[in-house]
Amino acid sequence: MNKLLLLVGFIVVLGTQANEYLDFNVTEIDRIEELEFGFSKYSSNLNPLLVGLTLIRGADSGAVCLDGTLPGYHLHRGHGSGANSWLIQLEGGGWCNNVRTCVYRKKTRRGSSNYMEKQLQFTGILSDKAQENPDFFNWNRVKLRYCDGASFSGDGQNQAAQLQFRGERIWRAAIADLKAKGMRYANQALLSGCSAGGLAAILRCDEFRNLFPGSTKVKCLSDAGLFLDTADVSGGRTIRNLYNGVVNFQSVKNNLPRMCTNHLDPTSCFFPQNLISQMKTPLFIVNAAYDTWQIQSSIAPTSADPSGFWHDCRLNHAKCTPSQIRFLQGFRDQMLRVVRGFSMSRHNGLFINSCFAHCQTERQDTWFADDSPVIRKKAVAIAVGDWYFDRAEVKLVDCPYPCDKSCHNLVFR
Strands (E), 148-216: 156-158, 163-165, 188-194
Contact partners, residue 192, CB within 8 Å, separation at least 6: 87, 88, 89, 90, 125, 198, 201, 220, 221, 222, 223, 361
Catalytic residue among 76, 317, 358, 408: 358
Cα–Cα dist 396/388, whole Å:
14
Q: Which has the higher per-residue pLDDT, 20 or 207?
A: 207
Catalytic option among 195, 251, 298, 343: 195
Q: Residues 291, 365, 386, 404: which is the catalytic one?
A: 291
Is residue 255 pLDDT above 50, yes or no? yes
Known active-site residue 398: no
Q: 65 near 113, Cβ under 8 Å?
A: yes
Higher-scoring residue by pLDDT: 236, 13: 236
| CATH architecture under which domain 49-397 falls | 3-Layer(aba) Sandwich (3.40)
Q: How far apart are CA 169 and CA 60, in angstroms?
A: 7
Q: How far is CA 292 from CA 127, 301, 364, 383, in A?
A: 25, 11, 18, 22
Stretch 347-371: mean pLDDT:
98
Please report, as a single letter, which amino acid is at residue 247: V
Query: What whole-number distance in Å separates Cα of residue 143 and Cα of residue 212?
Result: 19
**6 pLDDT above the threshold of 80:** no
- Radius of gyration for the alpha carbons in the chain, expressed in angstroms and rounded: 20
Is 76 considered catalytic here? no
The pTM score is 0.93
* Cα 204 to Cα 189: distance, rounded to the nearest angstrom: 13
Check pLDDT > 50 for residue 7.
Answer: no
Average pLDDT, stretch 302-308?
98
Look at residue 57 in the predicted model and tell me its pLDDT: 87
Sorted by where each begins, the domain ranges of the chain are: 49-397
* pLDDT at residue 16 in the model: 43
Mean of per-residue pLDDT scores for the chain: 91
Other Cβ atoms closer than 10 A to 405: 11
Residue 298 falls in the annotated catalytic set: no
- b/e code 41-73 from CB counts within 10 Å (16+ = b): bebeeeebbebebbebeebbeebbbbbebbbbb
Cα 383 → chain centroid: 17
pLDDT surpassing 80 at residue 214? yes
